[in-house]
Structure 1
Amino acid sequence: MKKVFTFSAAAIIAVLGSAAQAAELPAGLTWQSNMEEPLFASPDAKFGGTLRTHITSFPQTLRSVGPDSNAGLRHYFMDGVPKLAARHPNTGKWIPQLAKEWAFGEDHQTVFFKLDPKARWSDGEKVTADDYLFMLKYYRSKDIISPWYNDFFTNKIEDVVKFDDYTIAVKSVDKKTDDELMVQINLPSNGLQPRPEHFFKPKKDENNDGIDDDFVRRYNFKSEPTTGPYYMDKVKKGKSVTFKHVGEQWWGYSNRYYQNRYNVKKVRYTVIRDNDIARKHFEKGSLDTFGLVLPNLWHEKSNTKPYQKGYIHKFWGYNQRVQGAGGIWMNTAQPLLDDRNIRAGVTYATDFDGMINNVLRGDYARKPHGMGFGHGGYDRSDNLPPAFDPELAAEFFVKAGFGKVGPDGIRLNANGERLSFAITYGYQPHTPRIAYLKEQAKQAGLEITLNLVDGSSAFKYVLEKKHELAFINMGGGEIPAYWEYLHSVNAKPQTNNHNNYRSAEMDELIDSYNKEFDLQKKQAISHQIQKIVADEFLIVPGYMVPYTREGYWRWMKYPTPAMTKQTAGMFSVVDLATFWIDEDEKKATLAAMKKGKAFEPVTVIDDNFKL
């Protein structure tokens, strides 16, 4: 599938000089498609049925960008829908999605794409090059109130050029290797996705950028068309959200890698705020699956009658996914936390290892660094998480002026101010974990209070920089992203700079990192950035969970082998979605339950990708 020619970088630059020019595709491109990689779905899959699952809080918006969009259902609007290309989940090679083929320019900045002419929006409109041109205007518009996208599509993406209705080129601002270019263009959560220009018709556009001046409010609860297999069908505010499959005629099924995936007709997310109540609904058969990652769920609460009688099965599957930044983030703009000694003290007073062993049954693993794990040469080889050391923590607190200890064991400074910080978190089952940290921190004279904020509201609270300490794990890509977390430009509300961190030295390193072409030099800068994060005690490295554990009714089916290296959740339609519902098995199971018939209990362990 490769045609080999040669052409000059000058020719590319001339072509990409302006999107307004009539562009002519250069001859001599080497087109790639990688259509012969192994399949990972099952030909036995059946189409049909409704997946019944739950969410703990109703989303504050249905937008995929702008305020509050990072929480809630954005994964279903953006992260899980097709990009131009994607990594094969096992081999790691790039495989087609919205693009059928791609080719690299000699300038190390440009990638050419031939779009799949069969691609359609969920409302039936064609996906064309114009949707990518509009995408650039959309993401650069100040009206979407999304600094990350404004920056990325201005300072990372120089241009998108149309050659014909189904051929485009994307030019990066900085030179990168071919693989880095594809990563930047096809980021799982933030990659280049077309936007449906026919859907966005601004009523008021004073700055003439094609986006409604009142975009955030106008589209807060409007569902836009998607290129993925599922579109939003029904919304019952505060109660449920239902997605419906476009149907077996979905354009993606012409791509061999999409065949036998996304097999359910509908997905219904019911809001159940309490997970214990959700678990009871699941065990009664009102939900089809339920996550069992939490140790107490897997080890203790999944031995009830539906499991014993074989109606519900258990699955534990390992993966090799990149682990994103996370742990306890310290808001350096809050009083006291702007002091490195205080942050160091908090770090050494935080007993994550004890939490893992005593609360989490040793099931989880500790992250070596606050910025994540699994980035290959980008990670420092000597990254080690700080061990719990209350005596060392106390020494740092004394340096910060907290030399006295009050009658309750909590340290005081000369003004009588208590050494106390609140940890904000958004998931009630995490309470025992935070409570353990609270008790251990007392050994260093530190008081930790628990600030549980419901679901998506917790992330909003942190985005608005109201927190002191935040217990958050972020997603991550194979190349570490530092600008969004650490650059001074991003130290403001509605950004992922959860530390509110400002440093001219860090800014310079991040800018150099983003522009560096040489891989070894780029990785060396990454090491410097990670060292500063550790030396400044910005994030207490948390834990990582390199697997999925789930309970499911026996009518839920999946391929053999079940897991790929990149499988995050076995029964998620925004992941690889290789599962299906066997309606005949469902009828037989329900009939057996009525008669009191039992089956053999089933626990499946897939450890093919256990590290």
Structure 2
Amino acid sequence: MNNNNKHTVAALAIAMVTLSPSVFSSALPSDLTWISNLDEPLFASPEAKRGGTYRTYMRSFPQTLRSVGPDANSGLRHYFMDEVPKLAHSHPITGKWIPQLALAWAFGDDHKTVYFKLDPNATWSDGERVTADDYLFMLKYYRSKDIIDPWYNDFFTNHIDTIEKIDDHTIVIRAKVAKSHDELMYMINLPSNGLQPRPEHFFKVGKDENNDGIDDNFVRKYNFKAEPTTGPYYLDKVKKGKSITFKHVGKDWWGYSNKYYQHRYNVDKIRIRVIRDMDIANKHFEKGDLDSFMLVLPDLWHEKSNTEPYQNGYIHKVWGYNQVVQGAGGLWMNTATPLLGDINVRRGITYATDFDGLIKNVLRGDYLRKPHGFGTGYGDYGLSNLTPPPFAPQKAIRYFEKAGFTQIGADGIRLNGKGERLTFSVTYSSPARTPRVAYLKEQAKQAGLELTLNLVDGSSAFKYILEKKHELAYLTMSGGKIPAYWEYLHSSNAKPQTNNHTNYRSAEMDEKIAAYLAEFDTKKKQAISHDIQKMSADAFLVVPGYMAPFTREAYWRWMKFPTPAMTKETHYLFSNSLYLTLGTYWIDLDVKKETKSAMKKGKTFEPVVVVDDTYKP
């Protein structure tokens, strides 16, 4: 990766912050080239104003406030982990690495080692300083069996070799396997697990028979304890089953010394209420009790957002396109169940599932079909020719017959020689998806396939899927810049509480994944990625669904955002039940007062619909 702003240690100290003499530790190689990328474009608005409480909602209360361990891979983890500062972050427009907790970084000659200068201004939300010791503790924390999280145990044991302390604000991270500079940075700064520090002073060890520095009763002890954060918001109030409130650390938050954090995270509080029904939440929004509302669903955007508050200009709408990576999504087939272990059954289900018709007839043609394989948007790591299998009932029937389902029951559903019906339940998490699953159910009947609807509420659905209780899971996973295959496709994860939602086991795939993880040469690694994509497609593990390369949101006119609204990486403009977001929005309290007064007096404004198609595919 090309970096357009390289500094010596001395120049960096002058440009960014006055560093202590320990910066020039003799333990550092003398020929390091320090990188900071300080000249990338800003994406927040200097017009942003501080203050106010942003109000949103979630459909179910999280099962835990932990960011690791059982049930942590859902709920509010983005607030606790994914969107808090890492050492560096990919710029949302240019993709270059920009500083967060690290002021600068430098690469060793072995393609395994990265040196980081930590920002000495960085503090935890409880006021304690962030130091190199928090990174040393982090490694013990993630490797501990007491957190009961095999993914993190594996990653920090088998991918990270060591973390070494040079001084209080200088660390060295060494990978187990040589990688390109960009891949090293990506691995170290992954949104879902990046090497963010852990506050050792918070985790006071109790019973510790393993002698690993982590309480043996970690999962229960910290299930609903909010730990300090380096981010702009800390967890302030929890009303179990009702609401969660995050509070801003304050105008002196350490991050504001970083140019890329200025004019972001502007509201004083983020309050997330539990409203289990989306239609009821919409009513609360139109009454002014919530500040924004998602309109990604076609009926919401095209039909239900033309009520009086919209017509009177009190509520505005925005449709903004992005270019975020789209992870695998659609119907995930649990191959551990007897029938779905048969590839001919999986092939039949794939051709009996009419996602194209669903997009056209239910989703108004607004969405795009995902390719076959395992996600899209990976650039040269992806395959462009993996066309999603079309809806072809006759083809599906031929595969079902190969699997032994040669008979047809009185209701039109196919049977095998044992009298077993060709029927599978589809687990999904939102009532808004019921019409979609119902459409797939009706179309599947043409191939003699019965799909039954299994709606499991909110975060409980993901727990249900993690525990591998599903047959078919209607689910979309997020993705990163470089595809991650081990967690989804490796045999070692064909067990509960992992992301191998298909329970897939294949020695050949395991070998490919091992080669992919070990490969240093980018071109060769991309070629292996192509092989894995093709193998996963040929295994018919996930019926490819649809993707929405955009956000559509409604917001009260006092909610403001930059112009242009979108970056390539803008998932959503406003924080919601899952995402803290880039935090470039703000509340104009004067406009809020003006709007409230106008509503009382019957004064109206012009309706507003903002369309930002800068990054339209």
For residue 353 of structure 1, what is the amino acid of its counterpart?
D
Match of residue 231, structure 1, among 229, 234, 244: 234
Counterpart contact for 1:326–1:370, Cα < 8 Å: no
Q: Deviations over 1:380-419 (max 9, x none)?
A: 1311111110000000000000001111000001111110
The yes-or-no answer on 1:185 pairing with 2:180 is: no
Question: Counterpart of 2:17?
Answer: none
Question: Counterpart of 2:6?
Answer: 2
1:125-164 matched pairs, under 5 angstroms: 125-164=128-167
Distance 2:31 2:523 in 1: 30
Shift of 1:481: 0.3
Counterpart contact for 2:328–2:375, Cα < 8 Å: yes
The yes-or-no answer on 1:577 pairing with 2:580 is: no
Q: Deviations over 1:203-226 (max 9, x none)?
A: 100011000000000000000000
Query: Which has the larger displacement, 271-280 or 319-328?
Result: 319-328
Q: Deviations over 1:448-488 (max 9, x none)?
A: 00000000000000000000000110010010000000001
Question: Counterpart of 1:519?
Answer: 522
Match of residue 245, structure 2, among 218, 242, 253: 242
Q: Deviations over 1:291-313 (max 9, x none)?
A: 00000000000000000000000
Q: What's the secondary structure of 1:598's corresponding residue?
A: coil
Match of residue 447, structure 2, among 444, 449, 453: 444
Q: What's the secondary structure of 1:337's corresponding residue?
A: helix
Q: Deviations over 1:516-536 (max 9, x none)?
A: 011111111111111111111
Structural RMSD (CA): 1.1
Match of residue 611, structure 2, among 591, 597, 605: 605
For residue 386 of structure 1, what is the amino acid of its counterpart?
P
Q: What's the secondary structure of 2:260's corresponding residue?
A: coil
Question: Counterpart of 1:560?
Answer: 563
Question: Counterpart of 2:16?
Answer: none
The yes-or-no answer on 1:543 pairing with 2:546 is: yes
Distance 2:68 2:56 in 1: 24
Distance 2:233 2:446 in 1: 52
Counterpart contact for 1:327–1:370, Cα < 8 Å: no
Shift of 1:370: 3.9
Shift of 1:3: 4.5
Question: Counterpart of 1:421?
Answer: 424
Distance 1:421 1:532 in 2: 24
Q: What's the secondary structure of 1:44's corresponding residue?
A: coil
Counterpart contact for 1:79–1:574, Cα < 8 Å: no
1:356-367 matched pairs, under 5 angstroms: 356-367=359-370
Counterpart contact for 1:3–1:29, Cα < 8 Å: no
Counterpart contact for 2:6–2:37, Cα < 8 Å: no
Question: Counterpart of 1:98?
Answer: 101
Counterpart contact for 1:23–1:163, Cα < 8 Å: no
1:151-230 matched pairs, under 5 angstroms: 151-230=154-233
Distance 1:358 1:23 in 2: 67
Runs of 4 or more consecutive aligned structure 1 residues displaced over 6 Å after TM superposition: none
Question: Counterpart of 2:395?
Answer: 392
The yes-or-no answer on 1:502 pairing with 2:508 is: no
Question: Counterpart of 2:462?
Answer: 459
Match of residue 602, structure 2, among 571, 577, 596: 596
The yes-or-no answer on 1:355 pairing with 2:358 is: yes
Q: What's the secondary structure of 1:327's corresponding residue?
A: strand
For residue 6 of structure 2, what is the amino acid of its counterpart?
K
Q: Deviations over 1:192-246 (max 9, x none)?
A: 1100000001110001100000000000000000000000000000000000000
The yes-or-no answer on 1:368 pairing with 2:374 is: no
Q: What's the secondary structure of 2:474's corresponding residue?
A: strand
Distance 1:570 1:112 in 2: 34
Gap runs ≥5 in structure 2 = 10-24
Match of residue 529, structure 1, among 527, 532, 544: 532
Distance 2:425 2:464 in 1: 13
For residue 320 of structure 1, what is the amino acid of its counterpart?
Q
Distance 2:561 2:455 in 1: 36
Equivalenced residue count is 595
Residues 348 and 214 from structure 1, CA distance in 2 versus in 1: closer, same or farther, beyond 3 angstroms? Answer: same
1:248-267 matched pairs, under 5 angstroms: 248-267=251-270
Distance 1:119 1:597 in 2: 47
Query: Which has the larger displacement, 294-303 or 374-383?
Result: 374-383
For residue 601 of structure 2, what is the amino acid of its counterpart?
K
Question: Counterpart of 2:112?
Answer: 109
Query: % of aligned pairs identical?
Result: 73
For residue 30 of structure 2, what is the amino acid of its counterpart?
A
The yes-or-no answer on 1:587 pairing with 2:590 is: no
For residue 354 of structure 1, what is the amino acid of its counterpart?
G
Question: Counterpart of 1:8?
Answer: none
Q: Deviations over 1:348-372 (max 9, x none)?
A: 0000000000000000001112411
Question: Counterpart of 2:39?
Answer: 36
Question: Counterpart of 1:381?
Answer: 384
Residues 231 and 250 from structure 1, CA distance in 2 versus in 1: closer, same or farther, beyond 3 angstroms? Answer: same
Counterpart contact for 2:136–2:165, Cα < 8 Å: yes
Match of residue 27, structure 1, among 26, 30, 39: 30
Q: What's the secondary structure of 2:213's corresponding residue?
A: coil
Question: Counterpart of 2:19?
Answer: none
Counterpart contact for 1:315–1:549, Cα < 8 Å: yes
Query: Which has the larger displacement, 183-192 or 49-58?
Result: 183-192
Question: Counterpart of 1:297?
Answer: 300
Counterpart contact for 2:135–2:198, Cα < 8 Å: yes
Gap runs ≥5 in structure 1 = 6-21
What TM-score does the superposition give when structure 2 sets the normalisation length? Answer: 0.96
For residue 608 of structure 1, what is the amino acid of its counterpart?
T
